[in-house]
Structure 1
Amino acid sequence: MQTYKFHVNGMHCNSCVVLTESELGDLPQVKQVKACLPDLSVEVTGEFGEKTNEQIAAELSTTLQPHGYTLSLEKETKIINWSDFYKAIPIAAGFIVVFIALQKMGIVNLVTASEVSYGTAFVIGLIASVSTCMAIVGGLVLSMSANFAKEGDKTKPQILFHVGRLASFFILGGVVGALGSTFQLGIAGTFILNLLVASVLLILGINLLDIFPWVKKLQPAMPTFIGKRVHSLKNINHTLTPMLVGVATFFLPCGFTQSMQIYTLTTGNFWTGAFIMFTFALGTLPVLALLSFSSLGIHKKAQSGIFFKTAGLVVIFFGIFNLINSLVGFGLIPPLFNF
């Protein structure tokens, strides 16, 4: 038995770490896997016979390729495609202009000076569904689908998964909101948590731009063993397994989910927390549902760079907006926007 170290191409967040370790760990010839986000690498211990390192990397890559990752012996030279910004900036600016216009006209109310609204949660859910959620939840959906497809059942498991996911985000979101009331956060506590939400959004947005590798080290994450436990549920062959997996996704290491959970804690209200997390999960539903019933894969598209940079700029906008609103709400600065 020998340990090999490979570079993981395509890894960009803690969800990728969990997915890489879980997928490779399921292989019979692999005994132990340890992925490292800062180094974008993975150490694999197992029995591979007389195969060369190149052959092992190619063999393991076939398992990871459906999720957008490949392994290599040498670290790929990072080439930033600055031309993507030529399209990403106008698209993001257009979204922001429309957002502000609708906000001014009172047609939508995505952001207020004191709270994250349901509309904001929904939009953040949409963005999350094609980034960190796509990595970990999407990988989970694909793996689970493959397992149940072998049994000839393709539709029912997917429906149960999404029902379980939406229900858990509603109920557990409410629980988190209710817990906030027991802590008596006060103005200062709420201010600190709102700053944390804004910081998480800024980090996630900058990471989506994919131009500052060191930002990956700043991403918040739940303990990886939680993600591994959730991911292992897909191998349990039971009728209600998809629903259980859907429920468990509330605890997966997705930065966007965690930012919403932190905000939900500040609401101090069961129903507000429940609907915030529910609308966030509802925002992730369209893409994850398409992924469930098709071979959708944003990471594989030629325009993925433009898309992620656009999404990153929009998330940064929300992060800055939340930061400003937190400072206004605490009385540190006067209101900068008249909505």
Structure 2
Amino acid sequence: MKSKRIMLHVDGMTCGACESRITKTLRALSGVLSAEARVQSGQVIVEYDEDQIDLSRIENAIENIGYPIRRKNKAATAIALGIGLLLVAAYLIASVSGVFSTIPQITANVGYAMLFVIGLLTSIHCVAMCGGIALSQSVGMQGPEAAANSVSMGERFRRLRPGLFYNLGRIVSYTSIGAVVGALGATFNFSSASKGIIAALAGAFMILLGLKMLGVVRGFPQIGKVVPAPLRKAAGAISRRLRRGGPFAVGILNGLMPCGPLQTMQLYALGTGSVLAGAISMFVFSLGTVPLMLLFGLTATLLPRKFVPIMVKASAVLVMFLGAVTFARAATLAGISLPAITVSSPAVLEPTGNVARARLIKADVSDGKQTVLTEFRNGQYVPFAAQSGLPLTWTIRISAEDLNGCNNEIVIPAYDVRKKLVPGDNVIEFTPTKAGRVAYSCWMGMIRSSITVTDALGNEPSATLPEEPLALPGGSGCCALPQ
């Protein structure tokens, strides 16, 4: 016997289940003496008999279950980063061009169709992180050594049914989780600052996850290591029983995997404060992830194997970008006013060349009080100016067609103001206490604007007030670029 011990760097491991999957697959190979996968370092240690098995078979076994071997390939990395940047650019272009705003809402008062779009956009991350599981359930590979082209095209399509059951399990799991966290949101009254902290943690997790997918960060905290051993054993026993239930049970377990976009959506469901709204939001999001996952399960084996690490790295760029967007949401929810990138507004535009700008709307001061009227459109809030020390009556006018589940609640963290909006005129009253920029947003922190508070607004001309850059008509939806 001629034994050899090697260390392989493997991408795509995210949890203990990935460790077990790789270890079990390798130990089933004839000639492998020992195998250990380490998710924290992204390494797999294998000892094998060179007389019985060669390194290429070991690498193929790992890649056939969806975990690409990391090899030094600068060209592939450049291609992956380029694809990732193109995905981000496509997202930004769609945002500022108003593509998301044109998506029809499920109902006038709910507006969850945007969540379906988010599911579609982030499903590439689902494929990168859970593609191996989807592949195993959809095409039903008979063993770790099965070749990618050992199944006929007709057989792959015949196995559509297991893939459907797997994705159905994911939908049921996501929806159930949405109901649970929605109930928690109804039980506990989370402040805007608390939601901001949670969103910041989710954003940090997504950025770290993207860095790990790129191979920049090797270590990653393992939740399982801090869970008491009895609970880990009980969870393992339940997991083993569910796996015997086939693709549907595996899909149920898949919904419990750590995932940055999924955790962000759970924050959305938490903020609804409703069992029904939380369940619906997660249900619609999960539907958006199904098409690509199902398609991947049927066609992934036809793709060149070298494309898998490229896909992982490209999705990492998108995940990190979404993490940065989540951080921006967290800042707004915490009452921090960020510089405006674009502000779409129905205010009067004054074109200057190719750039459109508008005077900041100013509150009317009379008899020691001030009033202001702003008109909101779908996905668009309006900045305005007010004076400190005077009671402010702010009237928000919005039509039933423009009101949806994203923009239907105003939050002003600095003054602890929350206002549910209804079609017609909505009145908010508070007194700005000091000069500065006061951030306000929708309840999710996705649609943003600000109130410029000055010490002496008086009857001075609007030209003396700061101007706000405005986007040309088209605007952004509730899932679009932060305002």
- TM-score normalized by structure 2? 0.53
Q: Are 2:331 and 1:321 equivalent residues in the alignment?
A: no
The one-letter code sitting in structure 2 at the alignment partner of 1:98 is: A
| 1:55 paired residue number | 53
Q: What does the per-residue CA deviation read over 1:289-338, in whole Å, with 9 as the maximum and x for residues that have no partner? A: 12333444768254862x54543333333222221122112212256243
Shift of 1:229: 6.5
Query: Which is worse superposed, 82-91 or 248-257?
Result: 82-91
Q: Are 2:101 and 1:106 equivalent residues in the alignment?
A: yes
CA distance in 2, matches of 1:316, 1:62: 29
CA distance in 1, matches of 2:301, 2:139: 14
Out of 312, 318, 338, the position equivalent to 2:316 is 312
Segments of 5+ residues of structure 2 without an aligned counterpart are 106-111, 144-150, 344-446, 448-483
More strand by share: 2
CA distance in 1, matches of 2:102, 2:268: 24
Q: What does the per-residue CA deviation read over 1:215-270, in whole Å, with 9 as the maximum and x for residues that have no partner? A: x424675669699768756873xxx5322222221123444434433553344322
> Contact conserved, 1:142 with 1:292, CA < 8 A, in 2?
yes
Check 1:322–1:173 CA distance in 2 against 1; reply closer, same or farther (3 A cut).
same
Segments of 5+ residues of structure 1 without an aligned counterpart are none
Identical counterparts, % of pairs: 19
The one-letter code sitting in structure 1 at the alignment partner of 2:90 is: G
Q: Are 2:240 and 1:243 equivalent residues in the alignment?
A: no
| 2:125 paired residue number | 128
The one-letter code sitting in structure 1 at the alignment partner of 2:319 is: V
Check 1:64–1:230 CA distance in 2 against 1; reply closer, same or farther (3 A cut).
farther
| 1:184 paired residue number | 189
CA distance in 1, matches of 2:339, 2:306: 41
SS at match of 1:185: coil
Query: Which is worse superposed, 193-202 or 223-232?
Result: 223-232
CA RMSD for the aligned pairs?
4.3
CA distance in 1, matches of 2:238, 2:293: 17
| 2:85 paired residue number | 89
Shift of 1:125: 3.7
> Contact conserved, 1:191 with 1:326, CA < 8 A, in 2?
yes
SS at match of 1:286: helix
Q: What does the per-residue CA deviation read over 1:14-61, in whole Å, with 9 as the maximum and x for residues that have no partner? A: 15545423433555876864312344322357xx6xx22893544433
- TM-score normalized by structure 1? 0.72
| 1:37 paired residue number | 39
Out of 40, 64, 67, the position equivalent to 1:66 is 64
Out of 278, 281, 290, the position equivalent to 1:273 is 278
CA distance in 1, matches of 2:203, 2:302: 28
The one-letter code sitting in structure 2 at the alignment partner of 1:185 is: F
> Contact conserved, 1:35 with 1:41, CA < 8 A, in 2?
yes
More helix by share: 1
| 1:118 paired residue number | 115
> Contact conserved, 2:171 with 2:283, CA < 8 A, in 1?
yes
Q: What does the per-residue CA deviation read over 1:135-191, in whole Å, with 9 as the maximum and x for residues that have no partner? A: 4x32542575648x9xx9834433322222212211232112212333433333211
Shift of 1:195: 0.9
> Which structure has more RCO (C-alpha within 8 Å, separation ≥ 6)?
1
